[in-house]
Chain A
Amino acid sequence: EVQLVESGGGLVQPGRSMKLSCAASGFTFSNYGMAWVRQAPTKGLEWVATISYDGSSTYYRDSVKGRFTISRDNAKSTLYLQMNSLRSEDTATYYCTRGTVATGFAYWGQGTLVTVSS
């Protein structure tokens, strides 16, 4: 069974940093591209970043480019999101997802809440 378990969320002040992790199990992690999708409170879903199966390619939405870094450790089956210079508008539940262009985001973690506030 595919499992994605996020951790690392919490309350952080504007301008500070936070690193999210996603532990994957139940599949061969190194074979799949992974992504982060976020959802602001009572709002819709927003794609944040994608990383290829081997980490060689990364993609970001414009509003996080230069501030967020997606990475992975295939030996540990873990996905990361390093978030710097956080803003109030980054407040959201962040979901770790596995998917492809053809299948959509087929698997989701339970999410971790990031609150950016002073």
Chain B
Amino acid sequence: DTVLTQSPALAVSPGERVSISCRASEGVNSYMHWYQQKPGQQPKLLIYKASNLASGVPARFSGSGSGTDFTLTIDPVEADDTATYFCQQSWNDPPTFGGGTKLELK
């Protein structure tokens, strides 16, 4: 299976820019997606196919990358962005998720 590696946690101040990385153990073309999950809620799609903003998602969120290295950027970060962010690949079977990056605000 394709393993997706994310940093466990990040802490940033409101108004700053933050980049969350996801590295795949093998190439996934551009088929990387990003989700936000707040405590007690279901995940929400933010970015699909590496760089496409999902419907209704603020333009503060953006995605980049291809192959094995991908980045989710939030600029500027707001207090409401406190959540865990997961990457997920759909190029190789089975679909797999990263372990998640917990974003905390200082």
Which A residues fall within an 8 A CB radius of B? 44-47, 50, 59, 61-62, 95, 100-111
Asked whether B94 lies within 8 Å of A108 as measured between CB atoms, the reply is no
Asked whether B97 lies within 8 Å of A45 as measured between CB atoms, the reply is yes
User: Smallest Cβ distance from A11 to chain B, in angstroms?
Assistant: 20
Task: Indicate if B80 sits at the interface (CB-CB under 8 A).
Answer: no
In the complex, chain A residues whose CB is within 8 Å of the CB of B98: 44
Q: Which of A44, A101, A108, A109 contacts B90 (CB 8 A)?
A: A101
User: Smallest Cβ distance from B29 to chain A, in angstroms?
Assistant: 10
Count of A-B contacts judged by CB separation below 8 Å: 58
Interface size class on chain B is 20 to 34
User: Smallest Cβ distance from B4 to chain A, in angstroms?
Assistant: 10
Q: Which of B33, B93, B96 contacts A104 (CB 8 A)?
A: B33
